[in-house]
Amino acid sequence: MRSFIKMPLTAIAIVALSACAASEAPAAEPDVDSADTETADTVTDASKPAVDHTKGGQSQRVTIAGFECGDNCYLDYSPFAQPDSEAGDMMSALCSVDLCSDWFSDQAMPPEFIGRTATIVVKLGKQYDNEGNVMSDDFPEIVSLVVEGE
């Protein structure tokens, strides 16, 4: 009879202990400065676009939207619809091809180029400040520009 009483008491004790263990709150994460825990996936640089302009160095069809110069010259363009962008997304990239060099000398692009279709190849290039120092060595740069009808 004694073992008959021990069995239910043992079962009750096991159930009670399991319930206690399940109700305990998980240990809190250590309190660390968030700046120390940022990863490459969470850190963003506002000077660099979130979208990969380079498309792996493949040619892409675009509509020319503008051109502006300062320390560097940038061609503004809108890609035709592609899997990872919508038609009409405005993008900008350094422009180092001969045609852009002519525009750099004039500090302007002839207005008849706005709205024209072109094929470009974008890779990563160096962006300089006005003293010739490299500000970024992985900025989108147009390395080939073929304007349709030229």
Question: Mean per-residue pLDDT for 121-135?
Answer: 91
Query: What is the torsion angle, in degrees rounded to the nearest 10, for the CA atoms of residue 110, residue 116, residue 120 and residue 125?
Result: 40
**What is the rounded distance in angstroms from the CA atom of residue 93 to the CA atom of residue 120?**
11
Q: Burial of 74 by CB count in 10 Å (0-12 exposed, 13-18 middle, 19+ buried)? A: buried
What pLDDT digit, counting tens, does each position of 50-88 carry?
Answer: 455 556 678 999 999 999 988 888 999 998 866 555 556
Q: Burial of 48 by CB count in 10 Å (0-12 exposed, 13-18 middle, 19+ buried)? A: middle
What pLDDT digit, counting tens, does each position of 26-49 carry?
Answer: 444 444 444 444 333 333 344 444
Calculate the CA 67 to chain-centre distance: 22
What pLDDT digit, counting tens, does each position of 132-146 carry?
Answer: 899 998 999 999 999
* Annotation: CATH topology of 55-147: OB fold (Dihydrolipoamide Acetyltransferase, E2P) (2.40.50)
Q: Where are the beta strands (DSSP E) in the chain?
A: 59-69, 73-79, 91-95, 117-128, 134-147
